[in-house]
Amino acid sequence: MKYPDLSSRRARLAIRFFTYGVMTVTTVALSAILLFLALGYRFDKKNLTFSQGALIQLRSRPEGANILVDNAKLGFNTPGKIIVSAGGHQVSMSLNGYRPWSKTVTVQPGQLLWLNYIRLVPDSITTRVIKQFPELNAARFSPDRRWLALQPSAAQPLLLLADLRNEQKPAFSDWAFTLPPLPPGTAQSIEIVEWDLGGRFLLIKRTVGQAQSFFRLDREKPAEALAVNPVLPGAPAVSAVHFAGTNGDVIYVLTAAGELRRLSLSAGGGGDLLASGVTQFNVYRGDMLWYIADRQNVRQVGVIKNSRDSVPITYPAGTPLRVALSSYFGHDYLAVADANRVSLIRDPAETAGVASSDFASFKTDQSSVDWLYFSANGRMLVAQQQANLTVYDLETNQIFRRSFPLGAQEPARKLGWLDDYYFWLDFGGNLRIVEFDGSNERFISSVHSGFEASFSENGQVLFSVGQNTLTKAFELQASNMIAQ
């Protein structure tokens, strides 16, 4: 029997091509298997088939929590990730010194579900009093959570500024400002409107009889109160003012005549006329805003982005509307509530503003909507009527509903966001936090209802306002959200 001569050039080439072929096929096969696994496919031994699962990313605050999925303990603590089969699963977390957390989730094949927002609440929460006030009319936290403007009385041009950057030892200073004098005996009411996004400037509104005027305060120049009305030509009556961005100089102004303008307080000159016939507006971040206008026997909702007006959406005259505006993952979203129907329009500045451009729509269980608002990251849209919530998740297209009990004669209030996923509420004088879907509600402390609550900048302390049961003095209080 003759064997091939492996030393010949043809044989060596054949062996080489064969080897390279095997290596290529092996590489392709391994890559396909790895891609298959990365996409969540697993072999089902019971059914002898491949099925695609879903990936769940897990993170808690604090980290290091034990994780159970469908009552099976995982071999790692938070943070981490796990691939599960499509369908419903029970996810639980526990950490020594903290209350257990649990949620039922439903995942689709190939879905990535982020459970990265979990806040574990201590078993025992210590709430301490930071400072007492004989009277307190309002408390407004800056968006960056570093500052708190406290207003003892609506009748006096005086605020108390709390520096919260050291959440364990906040510092306080008087913020006295000077407003134009009034005739003796004239009553006034001063209201905090809003902070700018940078947490330096504050807008206030002064009401005298039926007349109202707006002023910009500067935290770094506490005595200064820059009047908004005289900046406009002819000093017209102004019905609403909002900051544009973080520099405190550029603002949006709505005059009583319905003119919506963007102007610089330092430059003056009346600024740019953006829209007419406007009755309401609000600003998102600084370069984009929504407005409602009554024009030619119709009501219209429009969006202005970078000073450019969109084609408005038209409704019958007098239609009660609620509007909200936000952005999420590179797209802008306009939400409009008409009675109990909520429409969500994607990139409204780029669409024709007709019904066919609706990205999504849903109905609430109630006949109307009192408040319509997004979470800070733009993912959650909330339609609230009284104490009834309908929450739409833009990422998963899920709708969640939750109602909270109100006490006898207790007025409903708009719920506040603590972060991108947690609400705070104070119905019945009890401060509670709850997740966007209504689950994992936790009692924090007793409070005086009607004042704001906020996390500290690092999220380790929850600030709120209480009232001493004996002296009736108001108290700025801090609840420790880290187990001791």
Same domain, 115 and 131: no
Same domain, 126 and 112: no
Residue pair 91/65 in contact by the 8 Å Cβ criterion: no
Mean pLDDT computed over 239-255:
92
Distance, in Å, from the CA atom of 320 to the CA atom of 315, rounded to the nearest integer, reads 10
pTM: 0.87
Residue 77, in any domain of the structure: yes
Phi/psi of residue 340, nearest 5 degrees: -105, 10
Residue 454, in any domain of the structure: yes
pLDDT band at 270 (very low <50, low <70, confident <90, very high): confident
Same domain, 28 and 92: no
Same domain, 29 and 95: no
pLDDT band at 218 (very low <50, low <70, confident <90, very high): very high
Question: Which residue's structure tokens are 């080897």?
Answer: 19
Residue pair 374/411 in contact by the 8 Å Cβ criterion: no
What average pLDDT is seen over the chain? 90
Q: Higher confidence at residue 224 or residue 30? A: 224
Q: How far is CA 474 from CA 127, 172, 308, 448, in A?
A: 14, 15, 46, 8
Residue 20, in any domain of the structure: yes
Same domain, 94 and 21: no
For the cut 70, the answer to whether the pLDDT of residue 11 exceeds it is no
pLDDT tens string 143-180 = 999 999 999 999 999 999 999 999 999 999 999 999 99
Of 73, 93, 119, which one is at a domain's C-terminal end? 119
Mean pLDDT computed over 251-267:
93
For position 67, which CATH number holds?
Answer: 2.60.40.10
Q: What is the pLDDT of residue 445?
A: 97
Residue 39, in any domain of the structure: yes
For the cut 70, the answer to whether the pLDDT of residue 34 exceeds it is no
Residue 294, in any domain of the structure: no
- Side by side, the strands of the sheet bearing 54-61 are 80-84, 54-61, 112-119
Q: In this predicted structure, which of 11-15, 311-315, 420-424 has the lowest mean pLDDT?
A: 11-15
pLDDT band at 483 (very low <50, low <70, confident <90, very high): very high
pLDDT tens string 278-328 = 999 999 988 899 999 999 999 999 999 988 888 899 999 999 999 999 999
For the cut 70, the answer to whether the pLDDT of residue 43 exceeds it is no
Residue 215, in any domain of the structure: no
Q: Higher confidence at residue 371 or residue 234? A: 371
Of 68, 84, 119, which one is at a domain's C-terminal end? 119
The range of the structural domain enclosing residue 129 comes to 121-136+404-484
Of 89, 119, 149, which one is at a domain's C-terminal end? 119
Report the amino acid identity of residue 366.
Q
Task: Work out the percent of the chain whose per-residue pLDDT is above 70.
Answer: 89
pLDDT band at 231 (very low <50, low <70, confident <90, very high): confident
Residue 25, in any domain of the structure: yes
Residue 325, in any domain of the structure: no
Report the amino acid identity of residue 451.
F
Mean pLDDT computed over 385-400:
95
Same domain, 37 and 73: no
pLDDT tens string 93-117 = 999 999 999 999 999 999 999 999 9
Same domain, 29 and 80: no
Same domain, 417 and 448: yes
Q: What is the 3-state secondary structure (H, E, C) of the chain?
A: CCCCCCCCHHHHHHHHHHHHHHHHHHHHHHHHHHHHHHCCEEEECCCCEEEECEEEEEEEECCCCEEEECCEECCCCCCEEEEECCEEEEEEEECCCECCEEEEEEECCCCEEEEEEEECCECCCCEEEEEEECCCCEEEECCCCCEEEEECCCCCCEEEEEECCCCCCCEEEEEECCCCCCCCCCCCEEEEEEECCCCCEEEEEEEECCEEEEEEEECCEEEEEEECHHHCCCCCCEEEEEECCCCCCEEEEEECCCCEEEEECCCCCCCEEEECCEEEEEEECCCEEEEEEEECCEEEEEEEECCEECCCEEEECCCCEEEEEEEECCEEEEEEEECCEEEEEECHHHCCCCHHHEEEEEECCCCCCCEEEECCCCCEEEEEECCEEEEEECCCCEEEEEECCCCCCCCCCCCEECCCCEEEECHHHEEEEEECCCCCCEEEEECCCCCCCEECCCCCEEEEEEECCCCCCEEEEEEECCCC
Distance, in Å, from the CA atom of 368 to the CA atom of 351, rounded to the nearest integer, reads 26
For the cut 50, the answer to whether the pLDDT of residue 353 exceeds it is no
pLDDT tens string 44-89 = 555 555 567 899 999 999 999 999 999 999 999 999 999 999 999 9
How many domains is the chain built from? 3
